[in-house]
C-alpha cells in the first residue's frame, strides 16, 4: 500500500501546483487509479517567509503548523513543503505532528551530488541566503556555493515576486545576463532554490544547467511513498 503525500502549499499557489504536477508527471503508472494519493493544503494565509526572517514580520510557523496538522488529520503519511525558504521552520514543524517530512534542500543537494557538480550558483530569496539553509549543507558535502552579488539578489527577488503575482515573463534579458556572468565565475550548475524559479525558467524556456529542487523533491516523495518514478 502506497503512502499518502501531503503538500504544505500556498507559498505561492502556483508553486504548490507545480510540485503536485511534477509528482503526477513523474510517477510510472498504467492508469489514473495507480497514481499516488496526494493532499495539498494551499494555505495563502501563511505570512511571507523572507519578510519574517529579514524584517521581523509575522512568523510563518503558526499557519504552517495549521497546514501540517490539517494534512495529518486528513491522512497524510509524509509531508513536503512547496517553498525553500519555509524550510527555516522545518525543525519546529517536525515537533507539531507525528508525520515525517522530506526536505527540499536535501533532495536538491542529493541531485547535485548525483550529477557530480562541485561548484554551484545558488538562486534563492534573500531569506534563504540569510539563513544559510543551503550554504551550510553545501559546506558539509564539500560543494562550493556561489552567492550572487547584491544587485543580482535584487533581480531574483523581483522575478520571484513577479511570478507569485502571475507575471512570469519579466526581466528576461537581465536574467540571462546574470546567468552568463555566473557561468564565467565557474558555476557548473544553478540551484533554482525558490519554488517560483523553476516555473519562471520553464515558462521562458531558459537553457541553463540547473537543478530543480521542486522536481528533486517530487522524485524523492514518489520513492518514499512506494511508487516508481519514470
Residues annotated catalytic, as ranges: 83, 194
Please provide residue 207's backbone torsions phi and psi, each rounded to the nearest 5 degrees.
-95, 100
CA angle 20, 133, 93 (to 5 degrees): 60
DSSP-based three-state secondary structure for 156: helix
Give the number of residues written for the chain: 230
Question: For residue 63, what is its C-alpha cell?
Answer: 499557519
Q: What is the DSSP string of 59-105?
A: -SHHHHHHHHHHHHHTT-SEEEES-SGGGGGHHHHHTT-SS-B--HH
Amino acid at each position: 500500500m502506497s503512502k499518502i503525500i501531503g503538500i504544505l502549499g500556498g507559498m505561492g499557489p502556483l508553486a504548490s501546483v507545480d510540485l503536485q504536477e511534477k509528482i503526477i508527471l513523474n510517477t510510472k503508472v498504467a492508469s489514473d487509479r495507480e497514481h499516488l494519493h496526494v493532499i495539498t493544503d494551499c494555505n495563502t494565509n501563511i505570512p511571507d517567509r523572507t519578510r519574517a526572517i529579514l524584517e521581523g514580520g509575522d512568523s510563518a510557523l503558526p499557519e504552517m503548523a495549521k497546514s501540517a496538522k490539517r494534512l495529518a488529520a486528513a491522512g497524510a503519511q509524509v509531508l513536503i513543503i512547496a517553498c525553500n525558504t519555509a524550510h527555516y521552520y522545518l525543525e519546529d514543524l517536525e515537533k507539531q505532528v507525528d508525520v515525517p517530512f522530506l526536505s527540499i534542500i536535501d533532495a536538491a543537494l542529493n541531485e547535485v551530488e548525483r550529477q557530480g557538480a562541485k561548484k554551484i550558483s545558488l538562486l534563492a530569496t534573500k531569506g534563504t541566503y540569510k539563513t544559510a539553509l543551503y550554504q551550510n549543507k553545501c559546506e558539509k558535502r564539500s560543494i562550493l556555493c556561489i552567492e550572487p552579488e547584491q544587485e543580482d539578489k535584487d533581480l531574483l527577488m523581483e522575478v520571484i515576486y513577479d511570478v507569485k503575482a502571475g507575471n512570469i515573463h519579466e526581466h528576461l534579458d537581465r536574467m540571462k545576463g546574470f546567468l552568463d556572468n555566473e557561468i564565467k565565475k565557474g558555476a557548473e550548475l544553478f540551484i533554482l532554490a525558490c519554488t517560483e524559479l523553476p516555473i519562471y525558467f520553464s515558462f521562458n524556456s531558459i537553457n541553463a544547467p540547473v537543478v530543480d529542487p521542486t522536481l528533486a523533491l517530487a522524485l524523492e516523495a514518489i520513492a518514499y511513498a512506494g511508487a516508481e518514478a519514470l
